């Protein structure tokens, strides 16, 4: 198997949380391969293991057993500095809660990761990204002056600031109404097609999930179904 064509290669991936004396097996040994450039939905009810999977791929947490290779890096063998580099240079994150800095403008929020990476020469990229997500007219607005859909667009632009290979989105439309949720998914679809970004997005919204190329159904820590979306159903 040519590893470099894969964004994610997970084998018998298991995650156990320890809560007091209780063991919670959030992922029970799943096998998943995600190709570069794929747009994959992770579907499943609350507690299925969606966030756990995204956090493991995103190097925000460590798996317990099995193997997890992300962009050719075997995560179990990386030290903290290398994991930090993965997060900073190769992975972008979008969350349900947006997590924008409320004192900063849209533009400053998107510039922040570029500043942290000491890539000042790339600051104009932040402007391009905000235009790309349809916020050319909102760059100098603070989050409180933006709608939920607009805030999530800023968060997506920020997630793309350091040109990640994989964008991880955890219920990105959980706080949005139907129209804005659909618009955000259309944007993700475009970004995947045009910018060749691998997108892995958790949702429990069936209609949105099937806008991806593939839908992986998780239930109680197992893969219940893994289906390619041949025709757009909605």
Instruction: State both tokens at 194.
Output: 């045009």
Nearest CA to 139 out of 153, 156, 127 is that of 127
Residue 111 near Mg ion by CB under 5 A = no
Residue 86 near residue 59 (C-beta atoms within 8 A): yes
- By beta-carbon proximity to ligand ADP, the closer residue of 52 and 173 is 52
Taken as a whole, the chain contains a residue count of 234
> Does 24 engage in binding with ligand ADP (CB under 6 A)?
yes
* Binding residue count for ligand ADP, defined by CB under 6 A: 12
Q: Does 51 bind Mg ion (CB under 5 A)?
A: yes
Which tokens is 101 given?
Answer: 């800095």
C-beta closer to ligand ADP: residue 141 or 219: 219
Among the residue ranges 41-49, 104-112, 123-131, 185-193, the one whose residues contact ligand ADP (CB under 6 A): 41-49
Q: C-beta of 77: minimal distance to ligand ADP in Å? A: 24
* DSSP line for 159-178: HTTT--SEEEEESTTTTS-H
Site string for ligand ADP, 123-162 (x = CB under 6 A): ----------------------------------------
Q: If binding is defined by CB under 6 A, does position 8 make contact with ligand ADP?
A: no
Question: In this chain, which stretch among 36-44, 45-53, 71-79, 143-151 interacts with Mg ion, using CB under 5 A?
Answer: 45-53
Cβ burial 199-230 (10 Å sphere, 16+ → b, else e): bbbbbbbeebbbbbbbbbbbeebebeeeeebe
Choice between 46 and 137, CB closer to ligand ADP: 46
**Other beta carbons within 10 Å of 131:** 13
Q: Which of 155, 163, 159 is nearest to 135 (CA)?
A: 155
Q: Which residues bind Mg ion (CB under 5 A)?
A: 50-51
Q: Which residues bind ligand ADP (CB under 6 A)?
A: 17, 19, 24, 26, 44, 46-52
């Amino acid at each position: 198997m040519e590893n470099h064509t894969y964004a994610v290669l997970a084998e018998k991936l298991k995650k156990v949380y320890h809560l007091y004396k209780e063991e919670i097996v959030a992922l029970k040994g799943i096998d998943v391969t995600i190709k570069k450039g794929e747009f994959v939905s992770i579907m499943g009810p609350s507690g299925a293991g969606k966030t756990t999977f995204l956090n493991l791929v995103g190097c925000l947490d460590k798996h317990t057993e099995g193997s997890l290779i992300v962009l050719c890096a075997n995560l179990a063998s990386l030290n903290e500095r290398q994991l930090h580099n993965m997060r900073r240079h190769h992975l972008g994150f979008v969350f349900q809660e947006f997590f924008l800095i409320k004192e900063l403008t849209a533009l400053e929020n998107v510039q922040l990761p570029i500043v942290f990476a000491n890539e000042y020469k790339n600051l104009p990229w932040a402007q391009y990204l905000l235009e790309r997500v349809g916020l050319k007219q909102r760059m100098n607005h603070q989050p409180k002056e933006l709608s939920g859909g607009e805030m999530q667009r800023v968060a997506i632009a920020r997630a793309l600031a350091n040109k990640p290979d994989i964008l991880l989105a955890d219920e990105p439309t959980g706080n949005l109404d139907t129209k804005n949720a659909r618009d955000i998914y259309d944007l993700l679809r475009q970004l995947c097609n045009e910018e060749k970004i691998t997108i892995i997005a958790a949702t429990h919204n069936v209609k949105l999930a099937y806008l991806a190329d593939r839908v992986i159904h998780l239930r109680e820590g197992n893969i219940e179904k893994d289906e390619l979306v041949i025709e757009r159903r909605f």
